[in-house]
Amino acid sequence: MTRPRSTRKRSPASPTQQRQVSLWGKDTVVIERMSQEGRGIANRQGKIVFVSGALTGEQVRVQCTAVKRDFDTADMIMLLPDSAPSALRVLPQCRVYAECGGCTLQHWSPVAQQRHKQEALLAMLLPIAPGLILAPPIISCSSGFRHRVRLLVTRNTDKTYSLGFRQRGSHDAVSLQHCVVANAAVNTLLQVLPKILFAAPELQGLREIEIDADSDNQLGLCFYFAAHPGEKILSALRTAVLFDSVIAMRVRLTARRKSRSDALYDDGGEQLRQLQELYEEGELTLRLQPIIEDDSIEIEELQLAYLPGDFTQTHWSVNAALVSLALNWLKPGSDEIALDLFSGIGNFSLPFARRTKTVHAIEGDSDMVLRVEGNAQRNGIENISAKMLNLMTDTVTLPKADIAIVDPPRAGAKSVCATLARSKIKRLVYISCHPATLMRDARVLCGAGFQLTKAAAVDMFPHSGHSEAIVLFER
């Protein structure tokens, strides 16, 4: 029997369906300049091509990876034999550099990376701050600096475990037992952890592990499961991992996840997951010693307690310099009230409390609010008022204050800046981890009478295209 033809009208094909774009394969291009995130830029048949792994002046053979409306992307295959390598090209230190999705710029000298990030920041800010001269960048060592790393877990067919970071352009992991940018304590545990997991019961649903080392080289582990492992497994896991210097453990259930192309540089302050806490034990401690320009003023060393899995800046020496610069730029007075927005574990709240009348520490995570209160008590600080408030909503109501520190996630602080623009705030420091949202929020503040008076590049993540900055706004 012949089926009657449907009278239902078909939806018109989407533009993507209508235009089937094919990759153009391999070609040879000349790199003319560098993009903001550190890819080489070439011109191919009148169209921009972003080339990973290539540097200015090099003639390279490339493989197309994507074709977009306004640009294409490609990976460098090789430097042509008759083309001299850039004077800024160096030999990558990491043996899995070609596969790992974390350190994408190890082929570029650290000094050149830092200079490029400065130049990119200045070019971005000059249109809203004509005549601006950047302060010296905040830099430190470019290897052995990470005190925490987040690793993908792979369970092999022989029931052994492999740990690693996400491969470039893939959801799969590249296995490793040593990371060039991780510190010694993290690498020591990274080397033995697969054997520890193999000796534990079968950990079905284990997806990721974070290794965290504190200022005393005490270690913590945060386990991320896709399904509840059960109390028996949790008890056995605790017995397996809590030994010697591993003093803290946390287990979380991941309810939802959006894919990320870069697990190594998960900034933590912008979790794209819904997490359920299953188990917590122990705590770690980071020591913070800000340095004030005025030699007559000294802030005592602060101790910040936290759990593995909490957001902390991964380059702790850079963080100490960042906190110091924020204090020196804002010059808080003993009669002033400060806002610390997106306060985390109290990274800015605690040192600012030592210099001001009151600090309002505001954070959207209830656990972090408790952490700030606990850290204030631990350091004998009584002038911090911690409060939980969703700072990412359309309308934000803030306490009255004289100065502010804004340290948002990559999404920025649009609503917060709109509120600050209407407030009586005199000076504020904005810590940025994403150039686009920095510019959006800066325009809001400058449009309301603030002036961008100081700025500095912050090399929190050497060998990556990830750019951070600290900016001072004054009425």
Hey, which CATH number is domain 148-282, 3.40.390.30, 1.10.10.10, 3.40.50.740, 2.40.50.1070? 2.40.50.1070
pTM across the whole model = 0.89
Annotation: CATH topology of 22-89: OB fold (Dihydrolipoamide Acetyltransferase, E2P) (2.40.50)
Domain residue extents for the chain: 22-89, 111-142+313-474, 148-282
What pLDDT, on the 0 to 100 scale, is given for residue 16?
47
C-alpha 450/C-alpha 165 separation (Å) is: 42
What pLDDT, on the 0 to 100 scale, is given for residue 299?
80
Q: Which helix (H) or strand (E) holds 191?
A: helix 184-199
Catalytic residue check, 433: yes
Locate 314 and state its tokens.
């991964």
C-alpha 436/C-alpha 42 separation (Å) is: 23
What does DSSP say about strands 427-432 and 468-474: parallel, antiparallel, or unpaired?
Answer: antiparallel
Per-residue confidence in pLDDT tens, the chain, 475 aa: 444 454 445 555 555 444 556 899 999 999 999 999 999 999 999 999 999 999 999 999 999 999 999 999 999 999 999 999 999 999 999 999 988 888 999 999 999 999 999 999 999 999 999 999 999 999 999 999 999 999 999 999 999 999 999 988 788 889 999 999 999 999 999 999 999 999 888 898 999 999 999 999 999 999 999 999 999 999 999 999 999 999 999 999 986 544 333 334 444 444 444 789 999 999 999 999 999 887 667 788 999 999 999 999 999 999 999 999 999 999 999 999 999 999 999 999 999 999 999 999 999 999 999 999 999 999 999 999 999 999 999 899 999 999 999 999 999 999 999 999 999 999 999 999 999 999 999 999 999 999 999 999 999 999 999 989 999 999 9
Catalytic residue among 94, 103, 433, 446: 433
Q: Phi and psi of 185, rounded to 5°?
A: -65, -40
Annotation: CATH topology of 111-142+313-474: Rossmann fold (3.40.50)
What pLDDT, on the 0 to 100 scale, is given for residue 272?
40
Decide whether 22-89 matches 148-282 in CATH topology.
Answer: yes
Locate 253 and state its tokens.
């259930």
C-alpha 463/C-alpha 92 separation (Å) is: 10
C-alpha 399/C-alpha 358 separation (Å) is: 11
